[in-house]
A and B are shown apart, each in its own frame.
Chain A
Amino acid sequence: MMTALQVTLLVLVAAGATAVVLTRDPIRQVVSVSIYGLLLAVLFMAFQAPDVTLSELTVGAVALPLLLLLTLAKVRKQEE
């Protein structure tokens, strides 16, 4: 059986993913994708997968947004 916490988190993750897609400005999108990564990490924790939680926390919430930010900074610099 799915618990109320798991259902809530699934709904939050779906909302988060939609928010990432609907964010138009890339810089803001980086922030929303980071928060989405955090939500996913909590979801994995609620589904009893702490190892995936750790990977998702480090990669989804930190590493990916960081690399995206640096890439955006580089692209903007070249456009100037």
Chain B
Amino acid sequence: MTPRQRRWIFLVAGGGFLAFYLWGLIGLPGFGNYPGPYGDIINAIAVPQTHATGVVSAVNFEYRAFDTLGEEFILFIAATGVATVLRHLREERDTSAVDEAKNRDVPATSDAIAMVTLAFIGPTIVVGWYLASHAQTSPSGGFQGGIVLATAFVLVYLAGQFIVFKRLSPIALTDAIEAIGAGSFAAVGIAALALGAAYLTNILPLGSTPGAVNSAGTIALISFFVGVEVAAAFILIIGELLEQTLIVREGDR
């Protein structure tokens, strides 16, 4: 195919796309105009029905909990896949990272970076924990909280403490915690089945005050398990990548 033909095909296809795109745009509802009843119904009934003032969490972990379970397992399988692929590579290569880096001049972590990252570890853990455990009262949730928690581990690495990072998150343990987090979510649903309710029905007491931390029953519980799963999955991926990517200083071993 000559460049000239290719350009013609692009122009025809691009023109067709543009026409359909503009046609579709004309039919869109106006900015800020919400025609559907679903959101309004949820806004009206979610707080009295679930006692969760974080209505987005109520949708994610209660009304659409089954969707969230699927998303959870997408992440689970993705992390497992990364770990499997990278582990295969590690076995293939006998030379360790230390040997390869022997002749390379590795700059030490500066005191400034170490200080700043170490100072941020505590607050990061607090924020992550808060986000993961307050889905029922705020627009947060286990997903965001889990990644923030995992970031705390990355800060340990950035502070120049690769060995501490590895000691804090041994791969077998991270693997197991990830599986426990994902499995517990599914188990909450099965517990409802055992009690004769539909899968993932909110079977726990909702608490008397909507918006209290101990309210909203399984919403808080599921969010917490999602946080555990996401944090472990992310630490696992980062750990596997660090293991075979970055230079390990001999003093760190």
Residue B242 lies at the interface, judged by CB distance under 8 Å to chain A: yes
List residues of B (134-185) whose CB comes within 8 Å of A's CBs.
Answer: 139-141, 143-144, 147-148, 151, 154
Residues of B near A57 (CB, < 8 A) are 144
Q: Which residues of A contact B139 (CB under 8 A)?
A: 50-51, 53-54
- Chain B residues with CB under 8 Å of A12's CB are none
Q: Which residues of B contact A (CB under 8 A)?
A: 31-32, 54, 56-57, 100, 131, 139-141, 143-144, 147-148, 151, 154, 234, 237-238, 241-242, 244-246
Whether A62 contacts B241 by the Cβ 8 Å rule is: no
Q: How large is the interface on A (under 10, 10 to 19, 20 to 34, 35 or more residues)?
A: 10 to 19
A67 touching B31 in the complex, CB below 8 Å, given contacts A58-B147, A73-B246: no
Give the interface SS of chain B, mostly helix, strand, loop or mixed: helix
Given contacts A2-B31, A51-B57, A58-B148, 4 further A-B contacts (CB under 8 A): A53-B139, A54-B141, A63-B147, A70-B238
A-B contact count (CB 8 A): 50
A67 in contact with B237 (CB, 8 Å): yes
Chain A, Cβ-Cβ closest to B131? A54
Is B56 a contact of A71 with CB atoms below 8 Å? no
Q: CA separation between A58 and B57, bound complex, in Å? A: 17
Contacting pair A71 B241 (CB below 8 A):
yes
A59 contact set on B, CB distance < 8 A: 147
Residues of A with C-beta under 8 A to B31: 1-2
In angstroms, Cα B118 to Cα A43, docked, is 31
| Bound CA span A50–B137, Å | 13
